[in-house]
Amino acid sequence: MKVVDVLGPMMDSIEEKSGFAPKNEAGLIHALDHDYFKRVEAVEFAVKYDDGKNPLGLLKADVVIIGVSRTSKTPLSMYLAHKQLKVANVPLVPEIAPPEELFKVPPHKIIGLLIDPFKLNQIRTARLKTMGLADTATYADVKRINEELEYAQGIMRRIHCTIINVSNRAIEETAGLIMEYVQKNKNRG
């Protein structure tokens, strides 16, 4: 059997250019360090306290995200969890009172998400189509969407939380704003 060292010359070149010798330890890329375990803990937290499932988590969260359906609360929670933040999120629906625990969370730990009603209409209409439902459902009706957004704004004003308009923002951009806000308020408790 013929053996050819294809990595050796490449590793020698990298060592020569960088000035760093290889550590020759398997698994360094996927090291199970403190940051890894904090990230896993934050992801598990975000899953457990997603979509208002368990309001007890609201008081334990680093950040609580609130907003109407389809404002990217869950994807944003997961993204922030990968940045080691414990995030809970609560949907705001006019027919369902928010959990009382929400009103016990310090306002600086709550982020409200708002969106342009016509943008939300497009998102919800597309969602209905992917589910095989008629796009005429109340869920995508602009009048209903405006009612939901007014209700959500009322709750956000009552709580005195920071509000972010996510209409034309990528999740990464919104997450960046939230991380800056969390960092700025870190010492408030």
Residue ranges covered by each domain of the chain = 40-188
Instruction: Give the per-residue SS3 of the chain.
Output: CCCCCCHHHHHHHHHHHHCCCCCCCCCCCCCCCHHHHHHHHHHHHHHHCHHHCCHHHHHHCCEEEEECCCCCHHHHHHHHHCCCCCEEEEECECCECCCHHHHHCCHHHEEEEECCHHHHHHHHHHHHHHCCCCCCCHHHCHHHHHHHHHHHHHHHHHHCCEEEECCCCCHHHHHHHHHHHHHHCHHHC
CATH fold of the domain at 40-188: Rossmann fold (3.40.50)
Per-residue pLDDT in tens (0 to 9) along the chain, 189 residues: 888 888 888 888 888 889 988 888 776 666 678 899 999 999 999 999 999 999 999 999 999 999 999 999 999 999 999 999 999 999 999 999 999 999 999 999 999 999 999 999 999 999 999 998 887 789 999 999 999 999 999 999 999 999 999 999 999 999 999 999 999 998 886
What is the model's pTM?
0.83
